[in-house]
Structure 1
Amino acid sequence: MPASPSDPRGSVHDLAVIGAGPAGLAAAVTAADLGLTVALLDAAPRPGGQFYRQPAPGLGAARPQALHHAWGAFTRRAARLAAHRATGRVHHLAEHHVWAVTRATADPEHWAVHAVTGPDGAHGPAPELTARHVLLATGAYERQLPFPGWTLPGVVGAAGAQAMLKAGLVLPGRRIVVAGSGPLLLAVAGSLAAAGARVPVVAEAGDYRAYARSPRALAAQPRKLVEAAGHAATLARHGVRLRTRSAVTAVHGTDRVEVVTLTRLDRDWRPLPGTGVRIPCDALAVGHGLVPQLEPATGLGCATRPTPDGGHALVVDGRQRTTVAGIWAAGETCGVAGAELAFIEGELAARSIAGRGPVAALRRRRDRLRRFALTMAAVHAPRPGWSDWLRTDTEVCRCEEVTAGRIQDAVTGLGARDGRTVKLLTRAGMGWCQGRMCGTAVTHLAGDTDPAPTRRPLACPVFLDHLTDG
């Protein structure tokens, strides 16, 4: 029987889904369709994740679909979610920040999900939720590489700029340079330009011609080629230039961004002397791809694998099972690949949890999309020469204000050889973001070529008194 609608924690759920983005949403509604009781926990007030972030109701957005790709794929599943919520088959626990998953004390065969509630977890701990199975669909966050001036007001993440537009219907500026690496840049630039911003240039540090080295992966995904052509047409319509093998290597301004320096790069992303040009703007949207959000999976001991862009993703089998019995994963936690694949993996995971066989057509689509994702990650992977953008006074860890010079001193003067040692010597990565913003840069500057993913007992920041209360 479904758990009581008035008390979703009053009984053991068949499945706890952590994350209500495309993967988690698809898993929750598919599992409920198959007769399971589901608890869907998410940090946001509404389902959809970062990809389907929506304007607040009070803004009165008349056409939120205009800001999204494949809107129908989301709304169909959102309608199924609403139907299952009405019957009590699914309990959607919004603004729940899951900080750990552990074995349940009363029954080690079950899982206990620990969360804090409210914006940033400020409302305190939620009652413990128990489930027979857990699906991790925790998504990804944006990779940032530092450069001189990146802490100035007006510098925002590329995904952050898109989130501002989708959720708040606001732009980070009127004249916005978009830079970094990865296909997200094209979507961001197109959205900003369509919303009225002037986007003088998109600077892609990689080279799109590298896709030609994987013709089979491209041929298997004609829709991706159509999608890329659509982005190109949008940029052309709004007069946006695309420069490949180029990067913003410095930002200039007093109180906020006024000018950026755009520099040509060699194949290893080292700046080519004498190629810098200054472009006036009042905002910079920059990001170098996405990184799978692996907590709380790593805290549970789930195995990971290296990805072609220098990161890590969870190891899963053909049924989306992790290496820990009773724990499944879907979407970006298994490797960044986009919403279409996340929907498929969420559905496959739910079918596995319900004891149903996988749909052959879905598995084939998943495998094709996963192969394309590997190609995409390799094309846009950060190259080692990016650190030549830095000056000794460039802040690398923004939370603790640790500069590149201090990190270099820890490496050359104190013998640090990995990110953890640098952290102990300089406090880089000890701030609120716990290294999510600076981790890539710190490990690279430390010379750590194969850093292990961080394993933490807490998947998100939690107030100490909330831990004692919970």
Structure 2
Amino acid sequence: MPDSPSDEVTDDAYEAPYDLAVIGAGCAGLAGAVTASELGLSVALLDASGQIGGQFYRRPAPALGAKRPEALHHDWSAFADLRGRLEASEVVHLAGHHVWAVTRGSEGGAGWAVHAVTGPDGGGDRPVRVRARTVLLATGAYERHLPFPGWTLPGVVGAGGAQAMMKSGLVLPGSRVVVAGSGPLLLAVASSLATAGAHVPAVVEASGYLGYARRPGVLAANPQKLVEALVHGAALLRYGVRLRTRSAVTEVHGSDRVEAVTVSRVDRDWRPVRGAGRRIACDALAVGHGLVPQTELATGLGCATRRTPDGAYALVLDGLQETSVPGLWAAGETGGIGGAQLARAEGDIAGIAVAARVYGQPALTRDGRVRKLQRRRDRMRAFADVMAAAHAPGPGWVRWPDDTTEVCRCEEVTAGAIREAVTDYGAHDARTVKLLTRAGMGWCQGRVCGAAVACLAAGPGDGSVPPSAERRPLAVPVPLGVLGALEPDDAGADSTGRPDATGPDPGAEQTS
């Protein structure tokens, strides 16, 4: 099935309820959709992008004329297999669909209603609704950003953003690019940049790699991860890229764009070591401090969450990938950051589990294929937990931003304003800071600044505190005209007119 824009989808796609609606066409969503379809279910696959593959398998538009887009990717054969299975299936691919809410359905046997706005940026002329008996959330993750002086200068991009620029636009963020932050993504980004022709003077890792050595059994059970690290390490050696561990970029210098960065040694809590700063000339900085599961749709429905080893929130899932809300499954990064291979395994498990529920045949989940997938998932999930613990942000990073550093870029809220809200007005959580300063009320709705605001609100010494797993009625920005055009039944409203977000109260129980 080719990638197709949403305006080519006919109204028939929104009529009869599906057995399964999959939200997200990345590795997990594709695996879940095609597996369920191959077992005979009717499946709708919704994604905001115009093409399948998610963030991991971003690729250039055909107009750019890339001859070998697979050269920009790791494990391309796995994606090619998924794409071939999708093309051979009867999955209805709804591209350019930005899902803003999932509500309980009330008609036609559909358990759920998935609400979306269409178009490349969600600016379509009408809202759409997809009804389904079950839902699989495969919404992925977004980057964790920790602010420091100069991080808003042109030329500073997310580490994942730099990779996306290469994969989808065939462009580099600069000619001399420092890669910094924490996590294994840095090695992949640096090797890709260097291979594409950028000069990478340094990879700056705030943590170290000794944390992996504390779990030798987990490492031995995941040899492919060691192979990946060796491949990236060999690329860095080939291009003369220096790896600096226990270090962080604590300041960016420049007027109109990046001209240099200050790299400081940090202690185990990520506190800068006085007098240990070094200036490195560059014209771009690719920086990221790991990934955060994107769980807004699930927490809006009351799904239980758990704290991950790096302080984020991920969904609580059972052995078959079902959330705490019956009829709602999740796969991939929503259950914790783990990579493409883990996402595919979880998607396969979820697809089979949904089919077993729809058909009323639990035996489908007890055969050898499912047990093999579960063993693979558990092995890779154990490695993911080790990885998260090894690269967890230290509380000392809150000393990086001075009072003039912008934390919330959308609303131009500085670290000083947040500290004032804490010390002078008694704010001790992100929500109160938000009400006092508007931090997190902008277009990104706290996706960029949420972690930083929560850490600064917690005060000195608690910099590892993440944002709470909030329950929101809208997962993405929606025009008021779209909401005004909805009938109460279309919005899944209860008798009070509020969106019907059934499930347990997340204020009462958020962690496992």
TM-score (norm 1): 0.97
How far apart are the structure 2 equivalents of 1:65 and 1:389? 38
How far apart are the structure 2 equivalents of 1:125 and 1:152? 37
Q: CA deviation at 1:262?
A: 0.5
Q: CA deviation at 1:241?
A: 0.5
| Other-structure match for 1:122 | 123
CA contact (8 A) 1:204 1:242 kept: yes
**Aligned CA distance change for structure 1 residues 454 and 6 (closer, same or farther; 3 Å):** closer
Write out aligned runs for 1:155-174 (5 A).
155-174=156-175
| Counterpart amino acid of residue 270 in structure 1 | R
Q: CA deviation at 1:105?
A: 3.3
CA contact (8 A) 1:125 1:467 kept: no
Instruction: Select 2:402's aligned residue among 374, 381, 391.
Output: 391
Q: CA deviation at 1:210?
A: 1.6
- Residue 456 of structure 1 pairs with residue 472 of structure 2: yes
How far apart are the structure 2 equivalents of 1:95 and 1:35? 25
**Aligned CA distance change for structure 1 residues 165 and 451 (closer, same or farther; 3 Å):** closer
| Counterpart amino acid of residue 246 in structure 2 | R
Q: CA deviation at 1:24?
A: 0.1
- Residue 281 of structure 1 pairs with residue 289 of structure 2: no
- SS at 1:357's partner residue? helix
Stretches of structure 2 lacking an aligned partner (at least 5 in a row): 1-8, 357-363, 487-512
Q: CA deviation at 1:124?
A: 3.4
Write out aligned runs for 1:290-369 (5 A).
290-355=291-356, 356-357=364-365, 359-369=370-380
Write out aligned runs for 1:174-213 (5 A).
174-213=175-214
- SS at 1:414's partner residue? coil
| Counterpart amino acid of residue 148 in structure 1 | P
| Other-structure match for 2:80 | 75
How far apart are the structure 1 equivalents of 2:152 and 2:109? 46
How far apart are the structure 1 equivalents of 2:205 and 2:10? 49
How far apart are the structure 1 equivalents of 2:273 and 2:86? 52
- SS at 2:249's partner residue? strand
| Other-structure match for 2:497 | none
**Aligned CA distance change for structure 1 residues 6 and 128 (closer, same or farther; 3 Å):** closer
How far apart are the structure 1 equivalents of 2:295 and 2:67? 36
How far apart are the structure 1 equivalents of 2:67 and 2:272? 45
Instruction: Select 1:401's aligned residue among 412, 419, 439.
Output: 412
Q: Deviations over 1:302-329 (max 9, x none)?
A: 1100111111000110000001011000
- Residue 418 of structure 1 pairs with residue 429 of structure 2: yes
Runs (4 or more) in structure 1 with deviation over 2 Å come to 105-109, 124-127, 448-452
- SS at 2:131's partner residue? strand
Q: CA deviation at 1:107?
A: 5.2
CA contact (8 A) 1:178 1:201 kept: yes
| Other-structure match for 1:435 | 446
How far apart are the structure 2 equivalents of 1:408 and 1:450? 17
CA contact (8 A) 2:451 2:466 kept: no
Q: CA deviation at 1:209?
A: 1.4
| Counterpart amino acid of residue 364 in structure 1 | R
Instruction: Select 2:37's aligned residue among 29, 32, 36.
Output: 32
Q: CA deviation at 1:467?
A: 1.4
| Counterpart amino acid of residue 469 in structure 1 | A
| Other-structure match for 2:19 | 14
How far apart are the structure 2 equivalents of 1:73 and 1:450? 34
Aligned length: 463
TM-score (norm 2): 0.89
| Counterpart amino acid of residue 452 in structure 1 | S
How far apart are the structure 1 equivalents of 2:163 and 2:390? 23
How far apart are the structure 1 equivalents of 2:115 and 2:451? 28
| Other-structure match for 2:387 | 376
How far apart are the structure 2 equivalents of 1:390 and 1:300? 35
CA contact (8 A) 1:23 1:330 kept: yes
| Counterpart amino acid of residue 309 in structure 2 | P
- SS at 2:274's partner residue? coil
| Counterpart amino acid of residue 82 in structure 2 | R
- SS at 1:128's partner residue? strand
| Other-structure match for 2:500 | none
Q: Deviations over 1:219-258 (max 9, x none)?
A: 1111111110111001101111100010100000000000
How far apart are the structure 2 equivalents of 1:468 and 1:161? 38
Q: Deviations over 1:53-106 (max 9, x none)?
A: 01011001100010000000001110111111xxxx210000100000001132
| Other-structure match for 2:498 | none
Q: Deviations over 1:204-226 (max 9, x none)?
A: 00011121111111111111111
Deviates more, 1:100-109 or 1:370-379: 100-109
Q: CA deviation at 1:6?
A: 6.8
CA contact (8 A) 1:260 1:278 kept: yes
CA contact (8 A) 2:17 2:109 kept: no
Q: CA deviation at 1:127?
A: 2.5
How far apart are the structure 2 equivalents of 1:50 and 1:286? 17
CA contact (8 A) 1:115 1:125 kept: no
